[in-house]
């Protein structure tokens, strides 16, 4: 039986129903004001004054990325080394304490904001591809990632959004379709995202059964080459089914990620932090930023990233990566997190890093 593709809807054309948010209209308004949409008040939200449109969905994704960090410092710089991803916890951390989180925190917060604004949405789970480079065979984790399915129109057309992958994750909504022309820009035109449908390589089910390809999508990213047709330039970021990822799943997956040594080595043996910033003057950007492709959907807004991995901070603009700070000690890293990423972390937190794998001594 031939493999069926995805044409922009969930399997069997399912609709997502409206689900109440865990947040009050006052909290939704506080979030919107913090990310820059200061025109919205509690009464606006309570009366349905925000339009849950596709354009506003893209705007919300961009504003969230520009406002909040991808980071997991609580895993190493707090006494209990846990990551609070409860609805109350992430709202406090992001909106009141000006901190960030990894995928479970960012996307848990964003899901409840979307629901509070009238979007029909639910959480999805994914296996992250940990293989290095673009040509290595996929090496998938357990369900270690969370993203969101959204239906922003008055029909069952479905998009995925992800504000919690960090670099080089999606920065715009992506239609749930593996059509050749369904390609969106990432931070700049040199970074692109698309979806591809296929079975998990370890699946015990027959490749030709329709339940196999229909249950698993693969999201791929191309970052460094201008020609989308060039072989070996697409890399799978994560692969996912369409099952709903419930709150109990999110809490347990996050606990394993934070507390089980070896679950995600990048988090437990290192420190990763990503901040998105707006490119305001395209004349100062590298030449490849002006590259366009007729099949790429673009809203005209480009970003760059500051990325800290262990003891190095880089500025990533398109295909260019420039080291802007090298960190020699924990004190250096604390200062960099405060100055460059605006994480409110005190020098005294260094004591909680003592003896842990990522420590710079």
Q: What is the pLDDT of residues 296-305, one digit of tens each?
A: 445 568 899 9
Strands (E), 152-205: 159-161, 174-175, 183-185, 192-197
The pTM of this model reads 0.91
Percent of the chain with pLDDT over 90: 68
* 121 vs 217, higher pLDDT: 121
Is the pLDDT at 287 greater than 50, yes or no?
Answer: no
Is residue 81 classed as helix, strand or coil in its secondary structure? coil
pLDDT, average across residues 224-253: 80
Q: Is 94 exposed, middle or buried (0-12, 13-18, 19+ CB in 10 A)?
A: buried
Which pLDDT band, with edges at 50, 70 and 90, does 206 fall under?
Answer: low
Which pLDDT band, with edges at 50, 70 and 90, does 285 fall under?
Answer: low
Average pLDDT, the chain: 87
pLDDT in tens, 42-92: 999 999 999 999 999 999 999 999 999 999 999 999 999 999 999 999 999
What integer pLDDT is reported at residue 207 of this predicted model?
A: 53
Is the pLDDT at 211 greater than 50, yes or no?
Answer: no
* Cα distance between residue 181 and residue 232, in whole Å: 18
Residues 6+ apart with CB under 8 A from 229: none
Is the pLDDT at 228 greater than 70, yes or no?
Answer: no
- Show the tokens assigned to 125: 């789970």
Residues 6+ apart with CB under 8 A from 279: 188, 285, 289, 302, 303, 304, 317
Task: Give the number of other CB atoms < 10 A from CB of residue 19.
Answer: 14
Is the pLDDT at 306 greater than 60, yes or no?
Answer: yes
86-90, 147-151, 318-322: which has the minimum mean pLDDT? 318-322
Which pLDDT band, with edges at 50, 70 and 90, does 5 fall under?
Answer: low
pLDDT, average across residues 93-113: 97
What integer pLDDT is reported at residue 288 of this predicted model?
A: 45
């Amino acid at each position: 039986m031939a493999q069926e593709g995805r044409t922009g809807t969930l399997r069997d054309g399912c609709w997502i129903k409206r689900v109440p948010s865990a947040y009050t209209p006052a909290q939704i308004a506080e979030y919107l004001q913090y990310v820059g949409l200061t025109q919205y008040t509690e009464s606006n939200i309570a009366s349905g004054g925000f339009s849950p449109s596709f354009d506003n969905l893209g705007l919300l994704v961009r504003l969230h990325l520009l406002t909040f960090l991808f980071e997991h410092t609580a895993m190493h710089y707090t006494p209990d080394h846990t990551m609070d991803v409860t609805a109350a916890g992430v709202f406090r951390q992001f909106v009141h304490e000006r901190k960030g989180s990894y995928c479970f925190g960012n996307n848990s917060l964003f899901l409840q904001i979307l629901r509070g604004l009238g979007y029909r949405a639910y959480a999805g789970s994914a296996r992250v591809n940990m293989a290095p480079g673009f040509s290595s065979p996929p090496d998938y984790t357990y369900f270690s990632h969370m993203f969101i399915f959204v239906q922003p129109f008055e029909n069952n057309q479905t998009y995925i959004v992800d504000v919690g992958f960090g670099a080089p994750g999606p920065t715009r909504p992506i239609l749930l379709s593996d059509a050749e022309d369904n390609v969106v820009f990432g931070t700049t035109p040199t970074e692109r995202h698309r979806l591809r449908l296929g079975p998990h390589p370890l699946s015990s089910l027959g490749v030709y059964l329709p339940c196999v390809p229909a249950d698993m999508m693969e999201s791929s990213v191309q970052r460094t080459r201008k020609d989308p047709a060039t072989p070996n330039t697409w890399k799978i970021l994560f692969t996912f089914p369409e099952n709903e990822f419930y709150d109990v799943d999110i809490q347990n997956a996050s606990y394993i990620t934070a507390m089980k040594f070896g679950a995600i080595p990048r988090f437990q043996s290192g420190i990763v932090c990503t901040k998105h910033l707006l490119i305001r003057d395209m004349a100062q950007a590298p030449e490849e930023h002006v590259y366009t492709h007729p099949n790429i959907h673009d809203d005209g807004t480009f970003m760059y990233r500051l990325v800290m991995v262990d003891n190095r901070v880089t500025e990533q603009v398109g295909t260019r990566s420039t080291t802007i700070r090298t960190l020699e000690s924990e004190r250096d890293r604390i200062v960099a997190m405060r100055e460059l990423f605006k994480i409110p972390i005190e020098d005294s937190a260094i004591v909680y890093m003592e003896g842990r794998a990522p420590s710079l001594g």
